[in-house]
């Protein structure tokens, strides 16, 4: 699989669909509609078989104890019954999961590869030379993040959030202020601020009656990009003290400000304003204020969530 960056925690999203997909003869990258490489060949079966003993923690041959276990016909029946029950339950969950969590929509946001992640991180730290910020479309649907560096994704925000929590724990540990429940507190605090931001922006978008294609998940993705700058700032603060922290945080704040303005301008403001023509009327002005407010909230939150970690 080419997506070697995906950690185990996210891998449960991929296998069910790749098992059900009909094997295609051509290699994965030929069809842009296909989000992930097709691995439903014989190779995946051996990979799966290799993974299971590793996951269970029995790297030695697990065949012999299982053989003795299965010889008993009663336990054989029990296993068959149990596995059929599990299969039924899995079918039920698969049928209904799409009602609560939009899994198929979420898969679009995790269709990334190493090059995209590298380019996007570079863009987050240095957005000043990038010229074209439009997301490419393909027959009315936006192209997957793998093929366009401007598309939002959820991989970087999710990873950056988890890294932020870990780095916060590291920072607290170097100051002898660490205790395990503080990790949960940091995570929940950052999540609460994120939720509050999303709700506030959705409310103001509703009040200003902006007709955008900015979905909620897109918004979460954009707001999650600030964790990257926060991690950089805290790490520099750990290495070089307060001076390093303020320098790197200041740089990342300005970069995120520019990045958010350039990205949100295309989504919130009307087409005319996005191409540089001066705004006309109070409506566009209100939208401009909204974009600037959203972008200005990012550095504030970046500072608020990290200053207590660096002493």
Q: Could you list the residues that contact another protein (CB under 8 A)? A: 185, 188-189, 191-193, 195-196, 206-209, 283, 308
Q: Which ranges constitute the DSSP H helices of the chain?
A: 8-11, 15-20, 42-56, 63-71, 73-100, 103-109, 114-125, 155-174, 180-207, 216-224, 226-268, 271-274, 281-306
Residue 141 or 195 having the CB closest to another protein: 195
- How far is residue 171's CA from residue 239's CA, in Å, rounded to a whole number? 10
Residue 121 or 198 having the CB closest to another protein: 198
Environment class of residue 77 by beta-carbon count within 10 Å: exposed (0-12), middle (13-18) or buried (19+)?
Answer: exposed
Residue 29 or 191 having the CB closest to another protein: 191
Smallest distance from the beta carbon of 209 to another protein, in angstroms? 6
Structure tokens at 306: 């990290």
Smallest distance from the beta carbon of 159 to another protein, in angstroms? 21
Residue 85 or 202 having the CB closest to another protein: 202
How many of the other CB atoms lie within 10 Å of CB of 165?
21
Residue 242 or 283 having the CB closest to another protein: 283
How many of the other CB atoms lie within 10 Å of CB of 264?
22
Q: What is the CA 79 to chain-centroid distance, rounded? A: 38
Residue 166 or 247 having the CB closest to another protein: 166
**Residues near 210 by Cβ (< 8 Å), separated by ≥ 6?**
268, 287, 290
**Residues near 145 by Cβ (< 8 Å), separated by ≥ 6?**
108, 109, 111, 112, 116, 120, 151, 152, 153, 155
Residue 308 or 311 having the CB closest to another protein: 308
Smallest distance from the beta carbon of 15 to another protein, in angstroms? 30
Smallest distance from the beta carbon of 161 to another protein, in angstroms? 14
Smallest distance from the beta carbon of 101 to another protein, in angstroms? 18
Longest dimension (CA), the chain: 81
Smallest distance from the beta carbon of 34 to another protein, in angstroms? 37
Residue 151 or 210 having the CB closest to another protein: 210
Structure tokens at 266: 């295309």
Smallest distance from the beta carbon of 286 to another protein, in angstroms? 8
Smallest distance from the beta carbon of 134 to another protein, in angstroms? 26
Residue 214 contacts residue 268 (beta carbons within 8 Å): yes
Environment class of residue 56 by beta-carbon count within 10 Å: exposed (0-12), middle (13-18) or buried (19+)?
Answer: exposed
């Amino acid at each position: 699989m080419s997506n070697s960056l995906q950690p185990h925690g996210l891998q449960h999203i991929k296998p069910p669909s790749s098992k059900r997909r009909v094997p295609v003869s051509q290699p994965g990258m030929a069809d842009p509609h296909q989000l992930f490489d097709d691995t439903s060949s014989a190779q995946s079966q051996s990979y799966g078989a290799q993974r299971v003993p590793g996951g269970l923690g029995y790297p030695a041959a697990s065949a012999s104890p299982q053989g003795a276990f299965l010889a008993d016909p009663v336990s054989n029946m029990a296993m068959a019954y149990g596995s059929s029950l599990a299969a039924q339950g899995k079918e039920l969950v698969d049928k209904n999961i799409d009602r609560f969590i939009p899994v198929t929509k979420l898969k679009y946001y995790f269709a990334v590869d190493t090059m995209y992640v590298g380019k996007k991180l570079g863009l987050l730290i240095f957005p000043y030379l990038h010229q074209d910020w439009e997301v490419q479309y393909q027959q009315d649907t936006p192209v997957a993040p793998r093929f366009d560096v401007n598309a939002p994704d959820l991989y970087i925000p999710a990873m950056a959030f988890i890294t932020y929590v870990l780095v916060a724990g590291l920072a607290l540990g170097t100051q002898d202020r660490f205790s395990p429940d503080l990790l949960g507190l940091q995570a929940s605090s950052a999540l609460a601020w994120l939720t509050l931001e999303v709700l506030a922006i959705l409310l103001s978008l509703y009040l200003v009656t902006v007709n955008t294609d900015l979905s909620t998940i897109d918004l979460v993705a954009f707001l999650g990009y600030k964790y990257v700058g926060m991690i950089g700032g805290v790490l520099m603060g750990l290495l070089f003290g307060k001076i390093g922290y303020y320098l790197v945080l200041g740089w990342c704040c300005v970069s995120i400000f520019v990045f958010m303005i350039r990205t949100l301008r295309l989504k919130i403001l009307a087409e005319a304003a996005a191409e540089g023509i001066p705004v006309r009327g109070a409506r566009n002005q209100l939208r401009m204020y909204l974009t600037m407010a959203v972008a200005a909230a990012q550095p504030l939150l970046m500072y608020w969530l990290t200053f207590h970690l660096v002493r």
